[in-house]
Structure 1
Amino acid sequence: MAVIRGNLDRMTGDVGLFGPGSVTWRLHREPILLLGGLRSLYLQALHPRAVAAVMQNSGYRADPWGRLLRTSAYVGAIVWGTTEEVHAAARRVRRLHSRLSAIDPRTGERFRVDEPELLRWVHVAEVESFLTTAARAGVRLTPAEIDGYYTEQLRAAELIGLDPATVPGTAAEVAAYYERMQPDLALTRDSAEAALFLTVPPAPELWGSRVLRLGLNLGPTRWAYTAIAATAVALLPPWARRLYGGLGWPTIDLTADLSARGLRLLIATVMSTLPRRYRVTKASELAMERAAALS
């Protein structure tokens, strides 16, 4: 009966928040968004309270890859899930956030991690990073599609407890928001530690077991990841790079664009050689099947 129920649910045509005509579905089929996710973490870490909340509540040091997978699973559920799956995932995150607090290392003040200011910063940094990374890696988007993505993502912002009217919903609004936020951003000790950890993380335990079993060398993999992390940092806005002690030169932007385009081409080439079932995530495949039920 469970199998029959699952098949029936799959064919309901429930496409969740977005659907096949959305910019969100088009964009999130791009594997290069993994690079965008990494970029967003570097950007989020420049908000003193946001990074303090992570440092004081998260187990990312003990299980960084597990946390990354859980975050990716949440984004995947919001983008590709059924209406029920979307709201269930959001409820879990809101329930978790409601129990957490942290201490501002600058003032000693205790604050809730679900403060609207913090939720808004994390949301904007994430969606802007996804969009900017995709565009700079060669995904063609019109100005209307760019604004459309931001507007669609207001639904995701509302799910985590934000009033959509307080969240930037166009490219111009995002640019103005970043301009307003810059005086409040800084490279703190927490920011520096988080950035270093993102750049040189420990290898997943699974890699270690395979290395021992197969006699492989992690060196090339480590260097490849370091190059990816460097590209993520180079893709940051010039003002964010300067906060990290880097340069805001346009030549760095050009180099980052070329690196991102190269990574996208490499990923596309690798994906094209794989069987179809590996080319997109299982969640997106199921969402496409549900969407097909509508036609």
Structure 2
Amino acid sequence: MFDLADYRSTDYGFFGPDSISWKLWTAPTALLAFQRSVVLEHFDPILTAAVADMGGIYDDPQRRLDATLAYFVTVATADSRTAIAASEHLMGVHAKATGIEPITGRRYSANNPASQLWIHVTGWHSILKCYEMYGPGRLSDEEVARYWAESRIAAELQTCDPADIPADRDEVRAYFERVRPGLCVTERAFRGMHYLLRSDGNANLRLRIGSRLMAPAVIATLPRWMREVGGFDQPGLVDAAWKPMVKAAVRATAHPAVAQRAILPLSPMTSAALAAHRAAGVPDNPVVVTPSQGRERYGTVNRRVAVG
């Protein structure tokens, strides 16, 4: 999927070697965080409708999920040319995801700014949550502020407004409280959540086993109300029992080369992105650029407009 010579040949991309994003998005906990985030997507009725109507997670679940995680890792670690190309491709795919949302009967678009904001916040929050819970530990307030500032940069590649991205832990909590009244679980959302936690159907054996092994650890990171509304709550004893085992597994895969090999069976494209990241040397222009600068050079579309 990736040409090792081109993955980071033009510049350091949007974050660079000293960024919090490089550290967290390439950690072994990112795989847990990804399962967490795609489950949470289904609390948004627009995203539920888009996922259900497109059917990708049911027709070819491993490839669909792998491509999505590889996209996020690419945006976090690749050069601006590679990240812009990945973003343009994904937004083009989302542009085709339109239809009728069955709860309200209104037309939906996967590029709806509010839904894109939910994807973005839950994705980046999941990365932080799983890293702190199962990885090296809690980040300082300064590191968290840097992380969310970097998140606002990545949001420029989506249709949401970067100004709406939370800036710290308090603002993240406030965001979840603000959007909670509009979240819901439909029959299709229930199916999607439980399928992603414990895959079956067209899922291959690796994904079936992997999703089930990760599910208790992922559920343990979620607030009680999400677990109850989603119908996947579990006893506190399960939370407590899984945490030390997962932390031990994360420590065992902490070395980048080990993490890359460990993720290969479930996410080969993501493993390739991590390999490209590890192998990339100093780029031709060793600077960090902004998405607008990257777009000027390698893409022409400003997608932050009202959609749907």
Given the two structures, how large is their TM-score scaled by the length of structure 2? 0.78
Write the deviation string for residues 214-271 of structure 1: whole angstroms up to 9, x where unpaired. xxxx8xx855641311221221122211212355987665455434313313434892
Q: In structure 2, what is the Cα distance between the partners aligned to 1:70 and 1:237?
A: 28
Aligned letter for 1:282?
Answer: A
Structure 1, 257-266 or 174-183: larger mean CA deviation:
257-266
Deviation at 1:142, TM superposition (A): 1.2
Q: Which residue number in structure 2 is paired with residue 181 of structure 1?
A: 179
Structure 1 alignment gaps of length 5 or more: 209-217
Structure 2 alignment gaps of length 5 or more: 262-270, 288-308
2:131 to 129, 134, 158: 134
Within 5 A, what are the aligned runs for 1:1-295?
14-140=11-137, 141-202=139-200, 222=208, 225-247=211-233, 254-255=240-241, 257-268=243-254, 271=258, 281-287=274-280, 289-290=281-282, 294=286
Contact 1:13 1:290 in 2 (8 A): no
Q: Which residue number in structure 1 is paired with residue 302 of structure 2?
A: none
Contact 2:47 2:115 in 1 (8 A): yes
> Which SS does the other structure have where 1:111 is aligned?
strand
> Which SS does the other structure have where 1:159 is aligned?
coil
Structure 1, 192-201 or 261-270: larger mean CA deviation:
261-270
The alignment of Structure 1 onto Structure 2 pairs a total of residues equal to 275
> Which SS does the other structure have where 2:99 is aligned?
strand
Contact 2:57 2:64 in 1 (8 A): yes
Q: In structure 2, what is the Cα distance between the partners aligned to 1:260 and 1:146?
A: 23
Aligned letter for 1:232?
Answer: V
Given the two structures, how large is their TM-score scaled by the length of structure 1? 0.81
Contact 2:98 2:110 in 1 (8 A): yes
Compared with structure 1, are the counterparts of its residues 96 and 75 closer, same or farther at alpha carbon in structure 2 (3 Å cutoff)? same
Contact 1:57 1:102 in 2 (8 A): no
Compared with structure 1, are the counterparts of its residues 47 and 255 closer, same or farther at alpha carbon in structure 2 (3 Å cutoff)? farther
Contact 1:35 1:232 in 2 (8 A): yes
> Which SS does the other structure have where 2:135 is aligned?
coil
Aligned letter for 1:16?
Answer: G
Compared with structure 1, are the counterparts of its residues 34 and 152 closer, same or farther at alpha carbon in structure 2 (3 Å cutoff)? same
Compared with structure 1, are the counterparts of its residues 170 and 264 closer, same or farther at alpha carbon in structure 2 (3 Å cutoff)? same
Q: Which residue number in structure 1 is paired with residue 300 of structure 2?
A: none
Higher helix share: 1
Contact 2:4 2:279 in 1 (8 A): no
Deviation at 1:272, TM superposition (A): 8.3
Write the deviation string for residues 33-66 of structure 1: whole angstroms up to 9, x where unpaired. 1011001111111122211111112422110001
Contact 1:238 1:248 in 2 (8 A): no
Contact 1:101 1:112 in 2 (8 A): yes
Q: Considering only CA atoms, is the larger Rg found in Structure 1 or Structure 2?
A: 1
RCO higher in 1 or 2 (8 Å CA, sep ≥ 6)? 2
> Which SS does the other structure have where 1:102 is aligned?
strand
Aligned letter for 1:175?
Answer: R
Q: In structure 2, what is the Cα distance between the partners aligned to 1:246 and 1:160?
A: 30
Q: In structure 2, what is the Cα distance between the partners aligned to 1:11 and 1:105?
A: 43
